[in-house]
């Protein structure tokens, strides 16, 4: 199980809780990223890190899977969001939410007028 995950200075770092040493890999488009390191932490915790190559970063959303080769289990996911296309998607989503909120406000006001509340 992935307990903690973050990205610092171009490197993914995480803490994995497992009774035995996991054989982790970060997968991008089903291909493993090179160079994962793993060190023993406190009891049952393993500190993992992988340098993120610049070539995997692009506009939009990049998904990385943290995978244990030994158990064939997906321990977690890392999402990296960047670029102008993402900003356009977010603006469109916010405008849609605002329009839906306006509809709800009008319906609520109409309901209050009709019920005399």
pTM above threshold 0.75: no
The verdict on 67 and 91 lying in the same domain is: no
The verdict on 104 and 57 lying in the same domain is: no
Q: Is the dihedral of CA 102, 103, 106, 107 positive or negative?
A: negative
The verdict on 18 and 32 lying in the same domain is: yes
Q: What is the CATH number of the domain that holds 8?
A: 2.60.40
* Residue tagged 């899977």 (tokens): 65
The verdict on 35 and 74 lying in the same domain is: yes
Q: What's the pLDDT score for residue 85?
A: 66
Segments forming the whole domain that contains residue 113 = 83-117
The verdict on 58 and 12 lying in the same domain is: yes
Q: What is the dihedral of CA 71, 37, 9, 6, to 10 degrees?
A: 30
Maximum distance among all Cα pairs of the chain, rounded to whole angstroms: 67
List per-residue pLDDT tens for the chain, 117 residues long: 888 889 999 999 999 999 889 999 999 998 999 988 999 998 889 999 999 999 998 887 888 999 999 988 999 888 888 877 666 777 778 888 898 998 899 999 999 999 986
In angstroms, the CA 82 to CA 36 distance is 24
Number of structural domains, the chain?
2
- Cα angle vertex 87, ends 92, 94, to 5°? 30
The verdict on 75 and 92 lying in the same domain is: no
Half-sphere exposure of 15 (CA within 13 A, CB side): 8
The verdict on 72 and 111 lying in the same domain is: no
The verdict on 6 and 33 lying in the same domain is: yes
């Amino acid at each position: 199980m992935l307990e903690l995950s973050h990205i610092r200075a171009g490197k993914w770092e995480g803490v994995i809780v497992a009774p035995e040493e996991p054989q982790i890999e970060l997968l991008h488009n089903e291909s493993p990223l090179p160079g994962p390191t793993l060190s023993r932490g406190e009891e049952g915790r393993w500190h993992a890190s992988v340098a993120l190559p610049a070539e995997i970063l692009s506009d939009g959303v990049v998904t990385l899977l943290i995978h244990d080769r030994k158990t064939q289990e997906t321990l977690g996911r890392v999402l990296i969001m960047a670029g102008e296309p993402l900003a356009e998607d977010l603006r469109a989503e916010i405008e849609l939410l605002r329009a839906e909120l306006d509809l709800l406000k009008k319906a609520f006001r109409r309901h209050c007028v009709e019920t005399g509340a």
